[in-house]
Amino acid sequence: MIVSRLNLAGGLVLAVMAGVVPASALAQASRAELEQRVAQLERLADNQGLLELSRQIEVLNAELRSLRGDLEELQFALQGARDQQRAQYLDLDQRLKAVEDRASLLAAAATADPAADYQAAFDLLKAGKYLEARTGFEAFLAQHPQHELASNAQYWLGEVSYVERSYEAALAAFGKVLGYSPQARKAPDALLKTGYCQYELKRYPEARAALRRVVEEFPGSPAARDAEARLSRMAAEGR
């Protein structure tokens, strides 16, 4: 195509030089060719513009598809989190209800048979489960402070502290036993153990005073015999 245009232009130039074609004709021919080229360039530009627009649209569509995918993933994750939260709430609610039901049953059982509660705590004590026994006796006293076994429960609390070598705590517990009544079933033993605690704390005058009270106030009792034995031992020790 380019060669033909060159041949045409060359022929026109020769024709002008020969006087065969006027110069005006040559100018019109150059203008027509220029317009034709401009038209071709415009069509090419239009085509390229459409191609670029099409490419940009495709890029935007791809981004839109990616965003939709991300949105779906977020929605799925959110739904999963909601399901997990709902499951945790249901589990917590069920566990709380189970604890409440158990507490209600224990309270009902304690109210229905206080002696059984006392015996359960005493069995724990005999098994050497001192922490559990303490909890049991404390619960019994909290629920049944006026029960006939209350002074006994208080005494065994003192025994738990004595076994644990917590002599000050044991003294306080044994003192509360004597506070119920001098005629309480465990009063002699509580006074005897008061003397023992004072001995372990090296308060020998206080220990002798407590042991002598046992002998004087509860003569002939097993506690009185133990008190006399300890007094004799202290005399032998020079205490």
Report the C-alpha gap between 194 and 161 in whole angstroms: 12
User: For 90-122, how does the pLDDT look when each residue is reduced to its tens digit (9 = 90+)?
Assistant: 777 777 676 665 555 455 554 568 999 999 999
Residue % of the chain over a pLDDT of 90? 49
Per-residue pLDDT at 6: 41
pLDDT in tens, 10-63: 554 444 445 544 555 555 667 777 778 777 777 766 676 666 767 777 777 777
For 177, other C-beta atoms within 10 Å of its C-beta total 27
Task: Identify which of 164, 76, 155 has the alpha carbon closest to the alpha carbon of residue 122.
Answer: 155
Contact 110, 80 (CB under 8 A): no
Helix (H, G, I), strand (E, B) or coil at 14: helix
- Please state which CATH number belongs to domain 114-237: 1.25.40.10
Domain ranges of the chain: 114-237
Q: E strands within 23-99? A: none
What integer pLDDT is reported at residue 12 of this predicted model? 44
Residue indicated by tokens 């709380």 = 96
* pTM score of the predicted model: 0.54
**Band of pLDDT at residue 231, cut at 50, 70 and 90:** very high
pLDDT one-digit tens code per residue, 183-228: 789 999 999 999 999 999 999 999 999 999 999 999 999 999 999 9
